[in-house]
Every structure is written in structure tokens, then in C-alpha cells.
């Protein structure tokens, strides 16, 4: 067996999502997220010697690690851009641990943030081959791609609109216990989801994340160093990653998606199995992603997520607590920082500081991240005990 990944999360900082962030730059949101995370870890910025950042910082498309380092006033001995779309957050965590294990640094800050100004649509530029072979046919953007995957699941497995709507229902329901969530105080029933406008049939508006402004930062250190920290450390127990394609037209079959590798690999490395997981913090940009992720995780057979979702409950007090912060469907998606919200919630739960949404006796969390169209996948197992 491959050598064990080791590392621990000692600090988290997350901005409350807002629909629009007037007068902010992405760099300032990055810095504010870092300030909160190092405050939580009980360290100063001089302790940071590793920095992982995302690729789509509005003010600086290139040289992102250097620009962020300069802005923060730090001089790390390891820095990099991690470019895995929605999987970037979880992808940063194991990369930080690996860099520490390799002796390149001791304390890594992983940070993602995004401004969102009214009237300004931040679009990542489409490049070839997608720009050449998808866009001219009327297919631009993620909504279309995820609609195509959802339709394929419905046709191949007979899953229904109600099956998918239940996933959005639980996200909204859980968001009612999170005052930071963009849909706090805005519950919605399955009927309301099904009655929301069709954006890209078969995807309804309320099956799609709300773009917001926000940010999240996570401090990673070695397990030894974490013992000196302010909080009970949260340990990285296992990681799995798999990338299979970029464009939806090149995706493998709906039953052979890359999470089929990355989730079992993370569980195996953590020497655990899916039934021993206390929190499922699963990337949810669309209902269809949660559907196939439940199947890839082995919680049900391929194609049978609908029965599974109908027969279980997914609140903090349910038999399968899922996205207790509301998921991105309830919390909001601050671009790539949305993926990091799944890591942050796992840390809250494993520390036992999730307040009125605390899962009793939470010991292990499965965290997933997904980029492009179920193309870039990362899975982590986090644990409250070493």
C-alpha cells in the first residue's frame, strides 16, 4: 500500500456569502479569508510558509501565487495555483499535506475567494476545443453540460424529476439552520423546486447553485505541529483524485464517472468504509452531481440514488447527514470558494462546534470536490482523531 497521507487542519476562515460584493476586489476578499483562518489557528501571517491559491483571481490572471503573497506580505517557500475547478478546495488540502511531508514548508494556507458585482458577469473565457466545437452549437456554460448528464441518468436509469428535487429540498432544509447561508429563512418544498423555471431541460432553476461573492481559507500543518494549535486538530486521513475529461461530450458513461475511483481510494487510504462516515460533505453545484456522487460512494447501486434519497433523511439528525451547512445549493457558490465550504463545514462538525446543526459524535467526514462536468474529482476523508 502507498505511504499514508498525513496532515491536519488547524484553522478555517469563511466569509458570509453575499449576492453582490460592491467595492471589493478578489484580492481583498482573499486577504480577509486568510486573516480569519490564521486568527482561528492562533498564528500570525509570518508563520505562513506555504500558499495555495486558485486560478481565476479577477485582478491577476497570471502569477497568482506571487501577487497574493505580495498582497498579504508573506514570502512562502512553497506556492502554487491549483486548477481543478470545483475540486480545487479539497485538491489543495492533500497537496498542502504532501508539500509539508516533502519538507518544503510547515504551515500552508489554502485560499479561494471571489467577488461578484452587479451587472458584471465574470465568465471564464472558453478556449479550444470547447470554444470551437461546443459554443457554436448553442452549448455554453455549465447548465447545459449538467443538464445533459441529468438527462442521461433519467433515460438510462429511469430516475425522476422528484428524485433530483429531493436533493435540492434537503440542501434548502439544512440551510435553515445556518444563518450564513444565502437561502437562510427561505425554505422550499419539492413542489416549489419542480415549479421553478426550466433553465436547461431537465434542469430547473432551483437545482442550480446561486452565484455569490465570498471566500474561504484553510490552514494545514503537520499532524505533530497541529497538536500545539488552539483547536482540536482535524486530521487528513485519506485522499483520492481522478481526472477523466474536460468537455461533457467526452465524458465516460454515467456509471463510470471519475468519483468511482477517487471516493473508494480516499476511503481505502483512511482504512474506513462508507457506512462508517458520519458526515457527507458532497460537492453540489447541481442536484445531478449529488445523485451520481451518492452512487459512486457506494451508498446505493448505480442508478438507484432516487430510492436512496426517498428512504433516508439527510439533516444533522438524520441517518445520513449530508451537507449540513446547506450545501452550495443552500449556502451559495462563491465560485471556487464554494467547493471549500464543504471542507469548512466538515471541520466545524469534527471539532464539535456546529451549534444547532451539530451531528452527535461526529468522527469521520467524507468531503468531495468536482470540477468542469464531473471531470476533475477529489475526495478526502477527514477525522477528528489521529
- Give the HSE-up count for residue 205: Cα atoms under 13 Å, Cβ half-sphere: 7
List binders of other proteins among 102-131 (CB under 8 A): 128-129, 131
Is 247 a binding residue for other proteins by CB under 8 A? The answer is yes
Is 257 a binding residue for other proteins by CB under 8 A? The answer is no
Q: Considering the complex, what minimum distance in angstroms separates the CB of residue 142 from other proteins?
A: 8
- Among the listed ranges 1-9, 112-120, 138-146, 330-338, the one in contact with other proteins (CB under 8 A) is 138-146
Question: Which residue from 19, 70, 198, 228 is in contact with other proteins, where contact means CB under 8 A?
Answer: 198
Which residues, in sequence order, are bridge partners of residue 48? none
Nearer to other proteins, 73 or 252 (CB): 252
Q: Dihedral (C-alpha) 82, 381, 317, 324: value to the nearest 10 degrees?
A: 0
Which residues, in sequence order, are bridge partners of residue 234? 9
Q: Is 263 helix (H, G, I), strand (E, B) or coil?
A: helix
- Structure-block grid coordinates of residue 211: 452565484
Question: Which residue from 57, 82, 112, 200 is in contact with other proteins, where contact means CB under 8 A?
Answer: 200
Q: Considering the complex, what minimum distance in angstroms separates the CB of residue 198 from other proteins?
A: 5
Question: Which residue from 139, 299, 379, 381 is in contact with other proteins, where contact means CB under 8 A?
Answer: 139
Q: Considering the complex, what minimum distance in angstroms separates the CB of residue 122 from other proteins?
A: 14
Q: CB neighbours (10 Å) of residue 271? A: 12
Is 144 a binding residue for other proteins by CB under 8 A? The answer is yes
Site string for other proteins, 215-244 (x = CB under 8 A): ------------------------------
Question: Which residue from 42, 55, 141, 318 is in contact with other proteins, where contact means CB under 8 A?
Answer: 141
- Cβ proximity of 93 and 343 under 8 Å: yes
- Structure-block grid coordinates of residue 354: 456546529
- Cβ proximity of 380 and 94 under 8 Å: yes
Torsion region of 292: left, alpha or beta (phi above 0 gives left; psi -120 to 50 gives alpha): alpha
Question: Which residue from 119, 125, 138, 360 is in contact with other proteins, where contact means CB under 8 A?
Answer: 138
- As a residue count, the chain comes to 386
List binders of other proteins among 153-192 (CB under 8 A): 155-156
Question: Which residue from 67, 152, 161, 196 is in contact with other proteins, where contact means CB under 8 A?
Answer: 152
Question: Which residue from 28, 143, 161, 196 is in contact with other proteins, where contact means CB under 8 A?
Answer: 143
- Least Cα distance to 368 among 279, 268, 270 occurs for 279
- Least Cα distance to 363 among 376, 374, 378, 351 occurs for 351
Contact residues: other proteins, CB under 8 A: 128-129, 131-141, 143-144, 147-149, 151-152, 155-156, 197-203, 247-250
Amino acid at each position: 500500500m502507498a505511504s499514508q497521507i498525513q496532515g491536519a487542519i488547524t484553522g478555517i476562515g469563511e466569509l458570509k456569502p453575499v449576492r453582490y460584493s460592491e467595492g471589493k476586489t478578489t484580492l481583498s476578499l482573499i486577504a480577509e479569508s486568510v486573516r480569519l483562518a490564521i486568527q482561528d489557528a492562533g498564528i500570525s501571517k509570518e508563520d505562513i510558509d506555504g500558499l495555495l491559491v486558485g486560478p481565476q483571481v479577477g485582478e491577476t490572471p497570471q502569477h497568482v501565487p506571487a501577487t497574493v503573497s505580495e498582497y498579504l506580505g508573506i514570502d512562502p517557500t512553497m506556492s502554487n495555483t491549483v486548477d481543478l475547478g470545483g475540486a480545487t478546495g479539497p485538491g489543495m488540502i492533500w497537496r498542502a499535506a504532501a508539500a509539508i511531508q516533502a519538507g518544503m514548508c510547515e504551515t500552508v494556507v489554502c485560499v479561494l475567494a471571489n467577488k461578484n458585482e452587479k451587472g458584471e458577469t465574470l465568465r471564464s473565457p472558453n478556449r479550444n476545443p470547447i470554444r470551437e466545437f461546443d459554443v457554436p452549437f448553442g452549448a455554453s456554460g455549465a447548465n447545459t453540460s449538467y443538464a445533459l448528464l441529468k438527462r442521461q441518468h433519467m433515460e438510462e436509469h429511469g430516475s425522476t424529476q422528484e428524485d433530483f428535487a429531493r436533493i435540492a429540498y434537503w440542501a434548502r432544509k439544512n440551510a435553515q439552520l445556518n444563518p450564513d447561508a444565502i437561502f437562510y429563512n427561505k425554505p422550499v418544498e419539492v413542489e416549489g423546486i419542480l415549479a421553478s423555471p426550466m433553465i436547461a431541460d431537465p434542469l430547473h432553476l432551483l437545482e442550480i447553485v446561486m452565484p455569490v461573492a465570498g471566500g474561504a481559507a484553510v490552514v494545514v500543518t503537520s499532524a505533530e505541529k497541529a497538536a500545539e494549535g488552539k483547536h482540536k486538530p482535524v486530521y487528513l486521513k485519506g485522499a483520492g483524485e481522478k481526472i477523466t475529461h474536460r468537455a461533457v461530450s467526452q465524458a465516460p458513461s454515467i456509471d463510470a464517472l471519475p468519483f468511482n475511483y477517487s471516493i473508494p481510494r480516499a476511503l481505502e487510504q483512511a482504512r474506513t468504509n462508507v457506512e462508517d462516515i458520519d458526515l457527507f460533505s458532497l460537492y453540489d453545484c447541481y442536484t445531478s452531481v449529488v445523485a451520481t456522487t451518492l452512487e459512486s460512494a457506494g451508498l446505493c447501486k448505480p442508478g438507484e440514488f432516487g430510492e436512496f434519497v426517498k428512504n433516508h433523511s439527510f439533516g444533522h439528525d438524520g441517518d445520513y447527514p449530508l451537507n449540513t451547512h446547506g450545501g452550495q445549493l443552500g449556502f451559495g457558490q462563491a465560485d471556487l470558494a464554494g467547493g471549500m465550504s464543504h471542507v469548512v463545514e466538515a471541520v466545524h462538525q469534527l471539532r464539535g462546534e456546529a451549534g444547532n446543526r451539530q451531528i452527535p459524535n461526529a468522527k469521520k467526514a467524507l468531503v468531495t470536490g468536482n470540477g468542469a462536468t464531473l471531470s476533475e474529482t477529489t475526495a478526502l476523508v477527514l477525522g477528528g482523531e489521529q
